[in-house]
Structure 1
Amino acid sequence: MFFYLAFIANASLGGIIATTQLIAAVTVHNQAMDTIEILKGLGIDLGAVSIFAFLYSRENNAQIARLSREENLSNLKLRVDEKRTISVNALRGIARLVVVAGPGSFIMEAFERLKPFTEGLIERGVIVVPFATDGNLPKFEVEESEESGVGSEKNKRPWQLVPVNASEWSRYISFRLDGRVRGSGLGYPPWNALVAQLPPVKGMWSGLFDGFDVRV
């Protein structure tokens, strides 16, 4: 977008110069050949301004739509337990959310595929939110932690949150640690890629590259 603005400014400046030259050629020198060449250059400048203004506007609208979607997602509610609900934005800087939506059988299969990567996902702050589109949320056999609460060091439950009024949640959505959406798509979440590519939330690299999680 910066380059679009730079090109618009450059072409606009060229258009201003060409306009002054055109006025001089017509009113002072009265040279037809110069006028034709100046008109060609002015047309190119005006065309460049129009094209880059269109590209800038399109990119700006796309960014606004993306930010609006992420804001709406951040306001969705999650149930921690029978007494406590939180919003998605409460997990910013604490956890990387992966939302898995589909029939109960699909969610159970995603859960089974996650098992070999449980410890690695926990180390990377990944919390999975299951949303059963058919209303049949399966019960997961998970290791109970000695401490409860999101972000607990002893928490061994990647599947611990349930959407509240989450009828608009679909597919799976992977969040960066800083709260931005990393990506979404159809199919089972790539647990192996998450473990392989995401940095742990502890250690010397914790926090340094929170906003630079790779796309998986």
Structure 2
Amino acid sequence: MAACALNQRLLCFSNSYSRTATKPCSPWLPCSKTIVFSIPRNKGRLSLTSWTSQSSSEANTQTAESCVSLGLSLFSKGRVKDALVKFETALDLDPTPREAQAALYNKACCHAYLREGKKAADCLRIALAEYNLKFGTILNDPDLASFRALPEFKELQEEVSTSQLSFTYEAYLITFSGLRFVHSAQVVLNSTTSCGQIVKINMYTAYQYDLNLNFIKIIPPFFIQHELSLKARLGGEDIGYGFRRDLKLISEVQAPFRGVRRFFYVAFSAAAGISLLFTIPRLFRAIKGGGDAPDLWETAGNAAINLGGIIILVALFLWDNKKEEEQLAQITRDETLSRLPLRLSTNRVVELVQLRDTVRPVILAGEKEIVSLAMQKAERFRTELLRRGVLLVPVIWGESKVPDVEKKGFGARQKAAASLPSIGEDFEKRTQSVIAKSKLKAEIRFRAKVVSPAEWERWIRDQQKSEGVTPGEDVYIILRLDGRVRRSGKGMPDWPQIVNELPPMEAFLSKLER
């Protein structure tokens, strides 16, 4: 009966965790267009009873899938160490590649929660190298913010950039005059290779593939006359091109008429250029003179108007391009800021993007004495600032050089379940739930502590350079509810002015700001 009940539960488990309606998959395996592995939020989905005297016979029938499933259930209940044991057991039960990938990833999540950065990095390193884990999964998982703030993550990122990327690109084969040109030292081509097939390539050599004779010949790279459409990939995820594309989309939303303006710049410049081409011969005839020669001043005026129009339109086009680059740089800084981690009063580590629509962070950057004095002055207006959703984020210059000493002792961590990260669910979907929002708001207090101060200092210094402020000066930065910079200034903020400037969270202006 116990075995039958277990089989029924496992069957129910596998059916209840399809991530998409079109392509069902396991609960702990990545799906298409899914970033992270999910953990069951509903405790009723998987009901596991305690082991009885028949546990020895059931243990013999354990599989890697059941161990991963049970580990996820234990993790969701706050039993991280027990879940870690299950994931390790799954790795010893001859798992399939997908099961091993899931076990290693969730094992790394357990280590990250237990602040064991080295062990988490080792698990992720194996999953990336041997089981095709996408690095974008680690980059985009908001619940791995605590791990991304550790130096072990920086080392892992550098390793992936130099070894796994290793100048590896993907390119579509281009057919031109019966030849295919590719930059490659490791290209697999055969008689069945067709145009459009994707192959792994790098930058050092070039191969010429003859469609008729089916042979490969090395040719120098400088003979390549055609630029291929290349996409640098890091761990299977688009990093360069995809990020740039996203920035372009955000830029178009913020400046929707830039494309229209550019179209008219090009169209009017072309019209003025064509008119100038017809005007130049008339101008020569007017200069030479004669009975049928056109009026000199009229022709010269037309040529000057056309030439001046071209110059002005080209200048406007270049100015618009410069403004777009500045806007993209600002959006890049905003997106970088959104990924910086914070530690809330409940010891939970979140990224700044997770606090959007919930608080207005006020970043205070400067020397320790000045920032401490500003924090003391803010305490006088604590009630009014809380009504306006203000969250103070102090950043002390040089704090990143001081090593963090982790407190160690006996006994379990207090409130482990309260600060437990929810692995595998998109944060924007979770915040749509009133319960999830209320829990997050309950954890937010008047002040948050920065995690990875070096990253915060680097972003603030970049922001100072963009605003024309000497890097290293004492500054404050007030953010909007949507995460963008509201305003900034030198020194520390005037708290009464901020109270008068910011509307309360329940006000209509705050709703428009979201």
User: Which TM-score band (shorter chain)?
Assistant: 0.7 to 0.9
- Tell me whether 187-196 or 89-98 shows the greater mean CA deviation: 187-196
CA positional deviation for 1:131: 1.6
CA positional deviation for 1:117: 1.4
Unaligned runs of 5+ in 2: 1-254, 286-291, 403-418, 420-438, 461-474
Task: Decide whether aligned partners of structure 1 residues 26 and 102 sit closer, same or farther in structure 2, where only a CA change above 3 A counts.
Answer: closer
Task: Decide whether aligned partners of structure 1 residues 158 and 193 sit closer, same or farther in structure 2, where only a CA change above 3 A counts.
Answer: same
SS at match of 2:506: coil
Tell me which structure has the larger Cα radius of gyration: 2
TM-score by length of 1: 0.76
1:209 equivalenced with 2:512 (yes/no): yes
- Tell me whether 107-116 or 6-15 shows the greater mean CA deviation: 6-15
- The 5 Å alignment of 1:1-216 reads 2=257, 5=262, 8=265, 11-12=268-269, 15-16=272-273, 18-19=275-276, 21-22=278-279, 25=282, 31=294, 33=296, 34-81=298-345, 83-135=347-399, 150-152=440-442, 157-159=445-447, 161-167=448-454, 168-169=456-457, 170=460, 171-203=475-507, 205=508, 207-210=510-513
CA distance in 2, matches of 1:79, 1:132: 15
Task: Decide whether aligned partners of structure 1 residues 125 and 81 sit closer, same or farther in structure 2, where only a CA change above 3 A counts.
Answer: closer
SS at match of 1:63: helix
Letter in 1 for 2:453: A
Unaligned runs of 5+ in 1: 137-147, 212-216
Task: Decide whether aligned partners of structure 1 residues 81 and 48 sit closer, same or farther in structure 2, where only a CA change above 3 A counts.
Answer: same
CA distance in 2, matches of 1:98, 1:66: 18
CA distance in 1, matches of 2:512, 2:276: 49
Structure 1 runs (4+) greater than 6 angstroms displaced: 26-29
CA distance in 2, matches of 1:56, 1:178: 26
RMSD over equivalenced CA pairs, Å: 3.2
Contact 1:11–1:48 under 8 Å retained in 2: no
Contact 2:503–2:510 under 8 Å retained in 1: no
CA distance in 2, matches of 1:133, 1:107: 10
Contact 1:101–1:133 under 8 Å retained in 2: yes
CA distance in 1, matches of 2:304, 2:509: 57
Contact 2:280–2:303 under 8 Å retained in 1: no
Q: Percent identity?
A: 26
CA distance in 2, matches of 1:53, 1:206: 35
CA distance in 2, matches of 1:17, 1:134: 61
CA positional deviation for 1:38: 2.2
CA positional deviation for 1:23: 6.8
Aligned length, in residue pairs: 197
CA positional deviation for 1:30: 5.1
Letter in 1 for 2:349: T
Letter in 1 for 2:306: L
- Tell me whether 7-16 or 44-53 shows the greater mean CA deviation: 7-16
TM-score by length of 2: 0.34
CA distance in 1, matches of 2:476, 2:440: 20
Task: Decide whether aligned partners of structure 1 residues 80 and 21 sit closer, same or farther in structure 2, where only a CA change above 3 A counts.
Answer: same
CA distance in 1, matches of 2:271, 2:314: 13
Task: Decide whether aligned partners of structure 1 residues 80 and 99 sit closer, same or farther in structure 2, where only a CA change above 3 A counts.
Answer: same
